[in-house]
Amino acid sequence: GNSVTQMEGPVTLSEEAFLTINCTYTATGYPSLFWYVQYPGEGLQLLLKATKADDKGSNKGFEATYRKETTSFHLEKGSVQVSDSAVYFCARVNTDKLIFGTGTRLQVFP
Amino acid sequence: GAGVSQSPSNKVTEKGKDVELRCDPISGHTALYWYRQSLGQGLEFLIYFQGNSAPDKSGLPSDRFSAERTGGSVSTLTIQRTQQEDSAVYLCASSFHSGGRTDTQYFGPGTRLTVL
């Protein structure tokens, strides 16, 4: 099938901790992959994307590498900040639409 | 430039009433999408437009839901005879091309619909 699976939240971290949010997908072929972020009270914003295998998307200190061997696109950040507190959605393209994971809430405390 | 805009930002209606939700995509974007975000179902695709036609309506949950797009720009999502389960945030997105596997979809702030 065509689906996206994300780790359950919430993820609770202290400021400057290392972050990993796991995301795996099922697909035939190699769809483009995305991470979107939704800050409290705001709409969905694109965080980063990767369009082919082994691509690394990066933005605002966040990174994710398209791994075709493990069908994964895990989100990482070396040192989180309180301002990173948000809900993060992994997504893949399926023909003309995005298929989203269930979202992972990140809470960062000072 | 301006992003995707949606109106109203909030809509409260009574069960059985009809509602119309509006989306203004980014200028020049030919593709427009509607999604729904609800607690129980997460983010779900509803319908996709390329220009004024809708080649993919597969996500519309029932025949009470319809959408149109005019002039290759503004789109309206209409929900007839609203039910409480229609309560959700309705998101609109647009992208430069359609069906492009690399295209980024840009989202509006959403319309929060509450059906009493």
Q: What is the pLDDT of residues B38-90, one digit of tens each?
A: 987 789 999 999 999 998 999 999 999 999 999 889 999 999 999 999 999 99
Q: Which residue of A has its CA nearest to B47?
A: A97
Q: Decide if pLDDT at A72 tops 70.
A: yes
Q: What is the DSSP string of chain B?
A: ----EEE-SEEEE-TT--EEEEEEPPTT--EEEEEEEETTTEEEEEEEEETTEEEE-TT--STTEEEEE-TTS-EEEEE-S--GGG-EEEEEEEESSSS-TTPPPEE---EEEEE-
The arithmetic mean of pLDDT across residues B11-21, rounded, is 97
Residue in A34, A89, A98 closest to B45 by CB: A98
Element of type H or E holding A38: strand A33-38
Q: Which B residues 9-68 touch A at CB under 8 Å? A: 31, 33, 35, 42-43, 45, 48, 50, 55-56, 59
Q: Decide if pLDDT at B100 tops 80.
A: no
Q: What is the pLDDT of residues A21-34, one digit of tens each?
A: 999 999 888 889 99
Hey, are the CB atoms on B106 and A93 less than 8 Å from each other? no
The pLDDT value recorded for residue B33 is: 95
The arithmetic mean of pLDDT across residues B4-22, rounded, is 97
The pLDDT value recorded for residue A1 is: 62
Distance in angstroms (rounded) separating the CA atoms of residues B33 and B78: 14
Q: Which two tokens stand for residue B63?
A: 């025949």
Q: If pLDDT is split at 50, 70 and 90, which confidence band does A103 have?
A: very high
The arithmetic mean of pLDDT across residues B16-43, rounded, is 93
Q: Which two tokens stand for residue B60?
A: 């519309």
Q: What is the pLDDT of residues A29-65, one digit of tens each?
A: 888 999 999 998 888 999 999 998 999 999 999 999 9
Q: Which two tokens stand for residue B74?
A: 């503004």
Q: If pLDDT is split at 50, 70 and 90, which confidence band does B99 have?
A: low
The burial of B101, by beta-carbon neighbours within 10 Å (0-12 exposed, 13-18 middle, 19 or more buried), is given as middle
Residue in B42, B43, B101 closest to A31 by CB: B101
Hey, are the CB atoms on B101 and A36 less than 8 Å from each other? no
